[in-house]
Structure 1
Amino acid sequence: MSKVETDVKSEHDDPVMVSVCVVTYNHGKYIGTCLDHILGQNRDFRIEVLIHDDASTDNAQEVIRSYQERYPDIIKPILRTENQYSKGITNISGAFNFPRAVGKYVALTDGDDYWCDPDKLKKQVGYMEAHPECGFTFHSARVVTEDGSLVNGELMRPYKQSRVVKPEELVDKAVGSPFASFLLRREIVEKLPDYYVDCPVGDRPLELMAAAAGDSYYFDEPMSVYRFSIGGSWTQSQMTGDYVKKQKKFAEDLFRMYRSFDEETGGRFHDAAMRAARRNEFLTNVNVRDFKEIYKAENKEFYSELNFRDRFFIGFEYRMPRLYNWLRNRKNGRK
């Protein structure tokens, strides 16, 4: 009998401590790894795994069914035959997973990412049980490409040490946090504000909701792995078609989100929210290489937040565009 099966029998009548919400689309290559690492967590409490597959066209649903058959008390999937994202439901977790969560806490991950620390949940739950004033914990992540190669190690490391994060800091945060690091008290996601529902991504508004609820805690430990820009991911979808148009629209959507959050919270975090909105506009200009905006005096502070490598290549491209493009094409095998 496996460890997981033994745990299920011994804890069957206990209340669920953590509802793990998983969203997946065409993650057939990865969803098994994701579920194995969830099921392999060292824990003395009960979990449920709420999976929403958005009508995958690969073998993802077949893989999910096989796990459901083995762990019917834990794995609870919704397997769509019609894609919901294409209907305009951008935050799948809020629409389909949060409403059926019964755990005291809600954890999140995309189906192509995974938890690499077997004590991740134990650490986060342990902290929040000991600190009832804390509504949200998160951590850093390793970032890898589709073939497993490591990317910039600072990409998903918002702070340089483990510590309490005050609400204003969480609102006005310079570096992103991995979705797979999130653990929230369930009451935070029981009533979803418009700025969550209308946002094209789910991680940033969840952080804002957590900030509105009070203090958070950050573990400066890479307890999950984020796969960067793989096939079918939101990041990759932004790279196709009219990239500049998509980036500009995303910046506009995020600005509306921050403004709506500001209104929803009665202006309690106005300065932090507006600064975060301006930073997002700056980063959009970095992505589309709008050098006039990048080098504006009013953006100097945001520019200084970029790491040395990014500043170097931005400056290189700005000052020597022909050489930069020649080297980039050569690296990519183009003449």
Structure 2
Amino acid sequence: MGEIEVSVYCLAYNHEKYIRDALEGFVKQKTTFRFEVIVHDDASTDNTASIIKEYEIKYPEIIKGIYQKENQYSQGVNILEKYIYPKIRGKYIAICEGDDCWIDEKKLQKQFDALEKHPECDMCAHRAKLFDCSKNMVAKIFPAISKERVLTVEEVIYGEGGFLPTASLFFRKDILMNPMDFQRIWSIDYTIQIRGALRGGIYFIPETMAIYRWKSDGSWTLRNSDVKSQIMLNEKKEKMLLELNKETAGRYKDIIEKRLRKNEFYKLILIGDYRAAVQKENRCFMQELSPVKQAKLYIKAYFPLIDRLYQTIKGRKR
């Protein structure tokens, strides 16, 4: 079938409950081209590594495992740059974390065909089911875009990392191999999405082809869910966006400033300054919340005793 056209990378850590779904989604892909899947296990303490090894033995032409004896993330190692990038052989890259999975056997083929037909775009994405692990249910299908089209840079910047499912990202190798300065400040899926949109937007396929697990055991979301971590990440995001504005010569200044104002709005909520959060200058961000969330925020701001009583009752029911 020729040379490898697509390299998939999968980061796993204590994903014993989910990794088999991810691996099955990989090996069931039906393509007209060769692809490889580089799976990095960061010294899991459960059976994640042994499950990966099982699939590597069964599918040696597809699954390529990297097994750490000591956890690299906790040591501040850039796993992608040190371990993943040197092994990538495809001209395209796809991502799927170990706790997510693909549910369409033609996902890679569809995205490969899309970028082959649209050389002006560097990235392709699609919809996914968001599975809330804390409630054991599908919370929604996102993003709520029903037409096949090109997403703009502005949509991606304002939508932030949660705008597109990480498991849906498929892009040209250059996006990762030649990072811009703003990517170096914060190397996450949000910055990959921005970079992927800069040249010609992101080609979007309105098909649900993956499951994105939220609040799964050991996930990045849960590890950084406390207020201190959220504030630190907010500051890092601000630094990254300011560098993006500088690097793009102010071309996206208006949307970056709006995104920064929205970050400040959420920071006020994080630190508990609800009265400031609901002021007139934040009305546009309030309107983006559901009616229920808006009501709860107003109660916290103007009727804190009622909110505390509600939280006490809620805690007792648990």
Task: Determine if the TM-score, normalized by the shorter chain, exceeds 0.5.
Answer: yes
Indicate conservation of the 8 Å contact 2:274/2:300, yes or no: no
**C-alpha separation between the residues in 2 aligned to 1:251 and 1:149?**
28
Equivalent position SS for 2:69: coil
Q: Give the match for residue 245 of structure 1.
A: 228
Tell me if the contact between 1:142 and 1:150 (Cα under 8 Å) persists in the aligned partners: no
Structure 2: any 5+ residue segments left out of the alignment? none
> 1:7 — aligned with what?
none
Using the aligned pairs only, state the percent identity: 33
Note the aligned Cα RMSD (angstroms). Answer: 2.3
Please state how far the C-alpha of 1:323 moved relative to its aligned partner: 3.9
Q: Cα distance 1:66–1:234, how it changes in 2: closer, same or farther (>3 A)?
A: same
Match of 2:197 in 1: 211
Task: Give the 3 Å change call, closer, same or farther, for CA 166–27 of structure 1 in structure 2.
Answer: same
Which residue does 1:152 correspond to in 2?
139
Unaligned runs of 5+ residues in structure 1 are 1-10
Confirm or deny that 1:82 pairs with 2:70: yes
Give the direction of change, closer, same or farther, for the CA distance of 1:130–1:301 in structure 2 (3 Å limit). Answer: same
Deviations 1:9-58 (A, max 9, x none): xx3xx121211110111112211110101111232221100111111111
Distance 1:40 1:329 in 2: 49
Determine which of 109, 117, 123 is the counterpart of 2:96: 109
Return 127-136 or 259-268, whichever deviates more: 259-268
Q: Partner residue of 1:225?
A: 211
CA distance in 2, matches of 1:147, 1:35: 23
Counterpart among 2, 25, 31 of residue 37 in structure 1: 25
Residue 271 of structure 1 deviates from its aligned partner by 2.2
CA distance in 2, matches of 1:315, 1:54: 43
Q: Secondary structure at the match of 1:192?
A: coil
| TM-aligned CA distance change 1:311 to 1:151, over 3 Å | farther
Contact 2:43-2:71 within 8 A present in 1 as well: yes
> What is the TM-score normalised by the length of structure 2?
0.90
1:1-335 equivalence runs, <5 A: 11=1, 14-89=2-77, 92-146=79-133, 149-153=136-140, 156-157=142-143, 159-173=145-159, 176-199=163-186, 202-239=188-225, 243-334=226-317
Using the TM superposition, name which of 115-124 and 278-287 deviates more: 278-287
Partner amino acid for 2:246?
E
- Of stretches 76-85 and 208-217 in structure 1, the one that deviates more from structure 2 is 208-217
Check the 8 A contact 1:158/1:176 in 2, yes or no: no
CA 1:46–1:310 in structure 2 vs 1: closer, same or farther (change >3 Å)?
Answer: farther
TM-score w.r.t. structure 1 length?
0.86
How far did residue 298 of structure 1 move?
2.2
Query: Over residues 107-144 of structure 1, what are the superposed CA-to-partner deviations in whole Å (9 max), with x where a residue is unaligned?
Result: 00110011122222222112111111111111222111
Which amino acid in 1 is paired with 2:193? E
Q: Secondary structure at the match of 1:49?
A: strand
SS at match of 2:80: helix
Q: Are residues 269 and 100 of structure 1, via their aligned partners in 2, closer, same or farther at CA, if it must alter by over 3 Å?
A: farther
Cα drift, residue 238 of structure 1: 2.1
3-state DSSP of counterpart to 1:62? helix
